[in-house]
Each structure stands twice: as structure tokens, then as C-alpha cells.
Structure 1
Amino acid sequence: MQPYNKNLKLPSRDLRSNMTDAEQCLWQRLRRKQILGLQFYRQKPILNFIVDFYCPVANLVIECDGGQHYTDEGLEADRVRDEALAQLGLKVLRFDNGQVLNETDAMVEQIYYIVNLRLESP
């Protein structure tokens, strides 16, 4: 289990109840172990962050990014966050909401590919 801030439990529950359209679309492809039989969790607290999706077996985090992520402040916050998660051995995949909603099959193929790589390497 990854370390997390216990104060994020309630906010993560709220986020699970109020997912964006992109998050709902991606969740339909990740839930119920559809990718190589692996469990994904949504809106999972890790450290002082709440990640959109997390697969513990593959040490993989998947983020659906809206427009706020593409500002100078958003890009810097994401860089700091990704660096902190990488120090835990986690790989972060980022997709913008448009990719999730309009290129779903290609995005899922990329997730399969990355998961396979993560499982093959020690």
C-alpha cells in the first residue's frame, strides 16, 4: 500500500461521486479488471495527492487532464506531482480529456502497452 494523507479519504470519495465525463469514459474501460485482469482504483489518495486512476500491480497512475493542467501553474504542479510519484516507483500516464473522449481505443491500447512493459520489467 502506498503512503497517503488520511485527510484525503473524504475528498477522494467526493471525487468518485463527481467524476468528469473523461474520467467516467476511461473508468468504463478500466473497471472490472478489463486490462490484463488487473485491478484499477479511481480517485486514489497517494502521498498528498489524489490520482485519477491507480493500478498497484503495475505501479501505474493514469491522469485525465483538463484545461487547467496546461497553464504554467498547472504544468509546474503536474511536474512536481509526477516527480514525487516517480520517487515511489510509479509511472504516470497523462491523457488530455479530448484524447480520452475522442480517441478512447487508441488510448486504451497505449495503456495495455505500458502495463505490459511494467509487468515484464522487474
Structure 2
Amino acid sequence: MADGIGYQRARAFRRNLTPPEARLWRCLKGDQLAGLGFRKQHPIGPYILDFYCAAAKLAVEVDGGTHSNDAQIAHDERRTAWLKGKGVRVIRVRAIAVRDELDGVLEFIEGEAQGRIQSGL
């Protein structure tokens, strides 16, 4: 698990969600999405996940424009590989999709989570 510094950073991130993250969180919190429990800004190892469903071992990352540069893409790939090694599936949704296609994003997240739970991970 994350060290104390990771938990402090996660706590700060929880208070400062981006607008797309805040919009998605309003739909995920309180088990609103098909009864699935999600945590926001959840630390795992050296990383802080935007949203995490423990039952499905599913991380949901909301990617804005900065995720399209080469350095960030390489970082995201290393992060995803590390999390995969821990049994966590990472799905990425574009911030603009959260803004413009929220229902579709929620359907996608629910389908991924339910599929992992039903398959036994």
C-alpha cells in the first residue's frame, strides 16, 4: 500500500478534483452505479488512482489533454503495467467524453466492472 506521503497527497487530490472528475464522481459515489463501490483518489503503491472499485479491481482514469504528449503516454503505460502486475485493470476515459457522453462513459465503466466481477477477476 501507499506510504503516509501517498495518503496525504491522495487526501489533497480528493479536495481538488478536476471538473470532469467531479462530474464523474457525482455518478459513482455512494454505490450509485449498479451498486458498485468506488473510491476517489485512491492510493495503490506509488500511484494515486482517480477512481477505484475494489470489488472489480478496476481503476478508472480520467485523461485530459496532458495525457496526449509522449512523456505522459510513456508514464501512463508504465503505471498501467505496474498496476496490471497487482491484478488491477486500468481503463481510461477522456475528460471530454465525461463532459459530452456521460451516459456512455457510465455504461462502459459498469460493463467493465461487472465483467471483471462475474469472471472472478
**TM over 0.5: same fold?**
yes
**Aligned counterparts, 1:53-64, within 5 A:** 53-64=51-62
Report the Cα offset of residue 23 of structure 1: 0.2
Counterpart residue number, 1:7: 5
SS at structure 2 position matched to 1:45: strand
Report the TM-score when normalising by structure 1. Answer: 0.95
**Aligned counterparts, 1:74-89, within 5 A:** 74-89=72-87
Distance 1:6 1:92 in 2: 24
**Aligned counterparts, 1:93-108, within 5 A:** 93-108=91-106
Report the TM-score when normalising by structure 2. Answer: 0.95
Runs (5+) with no aligned partner, structure 2: none
Distance 1:68 1:17 in 2: 21
CA deviation vs aligned residue, 1:29-49 (integer Å, no higher than 9, x gap): 100101221211000111101
Give the superposed CA RMSD.
0.9
Match of 1:41 among 39, 42, 54: 39
Runs (5+) with no aligned partner, structure 1: none
Count of matched residue pairs: 120
Counterpart residue number, 1:31: 29
**Counterpart AA for 1:5:** D
Asked whether the equivalents of residues 42 and 54 of structure 1 are also in contact (C-alpha less than 8 Å), the reply is yes
